[in-house]
Amino acid sequence: MPSEAALHQVRDQFPGLHENELIYLDNAATTQKPDVVLKAMDDFYKTSNANVHRGAHRLSDLATRAFEGARDKVQAFINAPAREEVLFTRGTTESMNLLAQSLGQHLLQPGDEILIDTWAHHACIVPWQQIAAKTGAKLVPIPLLNDGELDQSAYQSLLSEKTKVVSLTHISNALGKRAPIERMIPKAKAQGAYVVIDGAQAVAHEAVDVQALGCDFYAFSGHKCYGPTGIGVLWGKRALLEQMPPYQYGGEMIDTVSFEGTQFNTLPYKFEAGTPAIAEAIGLGRALEFIQELGIDRIAAHEAALMAKAKNELAKIGKLTLLAAKGSNHGALSFNVTGEHHQDIGILLDQEGIAVRCGHHCCQPLMQSLGLKGSCRVSFALYNTEEEVDAFVSALADIVEFLDD
C-alpha cells in the first residue's frame, strides 16, 4: 500500500469517510465508494443515458459500449477465458439462486449430495437447501476444526460419487478465514462434482484467477469491492452455461418469440433478462480498475498489517475472546466480550464514533457450531489506518473496563 501521505490521498477520494464523523470498520458488510466510481455512474446518466443493445441511436450505442466495456473489465480482473462467461447479476445472492435453480434443478436427483462449508453465508446455504428439498438431494455441511478452519480430513471423507455440487466460501465473512480452495477444488473435480465459489469477501483482498483455480463457477458482489450496490457477477465455464436453462424470462434474453415457442439468446444474455443495471455495471467496472490501479498486492499487504496490529492489541484486553484468531484472518475478525451481549458492545462503540458489525452475520449455522448467538466483527479496507485501529482498540478497552466496574 502507499506511504502514509499517499494513503491519506486515497482516503480523500472516499466522500463517505468525510461526510460522517466515524471510523468505518464494517467493510465486510459493504465498502465506501470512491469518487471515480460515483463520477462514472453520474457521467453515464448525464451523457449517455439510454437502454443498451436495442437502440439504433447514438445514445444507445454509447450506453452499450460502456456497459459491455464493464464486462470486459470484469473478465480481465478475474482472468476469465471469455467475456461471454461473465454474467451480470444483482449480487452474490442472485448468483447463487441462479445456480441452484438453473444448474441444481436440472442436475440433482434423489440421493445426490451437495457439500457446503460450515462458514457459508445464508445466501449460499438457503438456495441449495431449497433445491435439495425439491429434488430429493441432501445438503451436507463440511465441519470445522477447533481453530475455526475447515476440517480437510472430513471434507475428503465426505466426497463421494454422490457428490454433485461442492459450494465453498473463499473467505469467511464472519471469521475472516480463507479456505484452501486451491487444494479443495481438485479433490471435488476428481469426484466429478461441480465447484461453486462464493468470492464476495475475497475479490477486494486478493487477486482472483478463475482459470488458475479450476472452479466451475465464481460469484461476487460489487458493493463489497468499492462498487455500487445492486450489481454482481457470476462467472461460469462456457460449456456449462450453454447447457444450463435460463433462470429468468423476458426481454433481452430472447432471440425470437412466437406464441408457439421461444428461442433463447446466446451467452451471456441468456441469463440477463430485462433492462440491466447499466449504471451499476459501469460503476463496478470502474471500481475494479480502481483496485488494479492501487495494486491488489499492496492493498493486501496494508490490510494484513492492520489485522496483525489489531489482533496483537486486542489480545491484551481482558474478558475479550477473539474467534478463530489462530493463524491468518483476511479482512475480518470477530470477537466477544465475556458476559456481554454483542449488540450492546456494538452500540457502545458506535457512541464512540466507531462502526462495526454485530449479530450472526448471516451465518447462523456457523454460530450454532461455535455455540454462539452472534459476535462483533471488525473488518478492514484499503482506506483504514493504523490510527483508526488504535482508536478502536482504545475505545473497546475503555468499554470493557466500564462494564467491568
Number of domains forming the structure of the chain = 2
Same domain, 300 and 235: no
pLDDT score recorded for residue 7 = 66
**Final residue before a domain boundary, out of 266, 292, 318:** 292
Domain identity same for 200 and 131: yes
At residue 162, the pLDDT reads 98
Q: Would you say how long the chain is, in residues?
A: 405
How far is it, in rounded angstroms, from Cα 195 to Cα 244? 15
All three cell numbers of 185: 477444488
Indicate whether 333 and 207 sit together in one domain: no
Q: Using CA atoms, how far apart are residues 219 and 257, in angstroms rounded to an integer?
A: 30
Are residue 109 and residue 253 in the same domain, yes or no?
A: yes
The letter for the amino acid at 313 is E
Same-domain check for residues 278 and 400: no
Give the CATH number for residue 157.
Answer: 3.40.640.10
Regarding beta strands 261-264 and 320-323, do their DSSP bridges make them parallel or antiparallel, or are they unpaired?
unpaired
* Residue 3 pLDDT: 58
| Pair type for strands 163-169 and 194-198 | parallel
Is residue 391 domain-shared with residue 263, that is, in the same domain?
Answer: no
pLDDT per position in the chain (405 positions), as tens?
455 556 668 999 999 998 888 899 999 999 999 999 999 999 999 999 999 997 789 999 999 999 999 999 999 999 999 999 999 999 999 999 999 999 998 899 999 999 999 999 999 999 999 999 999 999 999 999 999 999 999 999 999 999 999 999 999 999 999 999 999 999 999 999 999 999 999 999 999 999 999 999 999 999 999 999 999 999 999 999 999 999 999 988 988 999 999 999 999 999 999 999 999 999 999 999 999 999 999 999 999 999 999 999 999 999 999 999 999 999 999 999 999 999 999 999 999 999 999 999 999 999 999 999 999 999 999 999 999 999 999 999 999 999 987
- pLDDT for 6 equals 67
Residues 100 and 144 grouped into a single domain: yes
pLDDT value, residue 19: 84
Residue 87 sits in the same domain as residue 222 = yes
CATH of the domain at 339: 3.90.1150.10
Using a 10 angstrom Cβ sphere, with 0-12 exposed, 13-18 middle and 19 or more buried, the burial of residue 130 is middle
pLDDT at 230: 98
Using alpha carbons, select from 387, 219, 225, 354 the residue that is nearest to residue 299: 225
Residue numbers of the domain that contains 383: 4-30+296-404
Residues that are catalytic: 362
77, 163: one domain: yes
- Angle subtended at Cα 183 by Cα 189 and Cα 226, rounded to the nearest 5 degrees: 100
Quote the pLDDT of residue 20: 82
Query: Do 166 and 56 fall into the same domain?
Result: yes
For 216-248, the three-class secondary structure string (H helix, E strand, C coil) is CEEEEEHHHCCCCCCCEEEEECHHHHHHCCCCC
Q: Are residues 190 and 73 in the same domain?
A: yes
- Residue where a domain terminates, one of 260, 292, 324: 292
Q: Are residues 194 and 212 in the same domain?
A: yes
Last residue of a domain, one of 238, 271, 292: 292
pTM of the model: 0.97
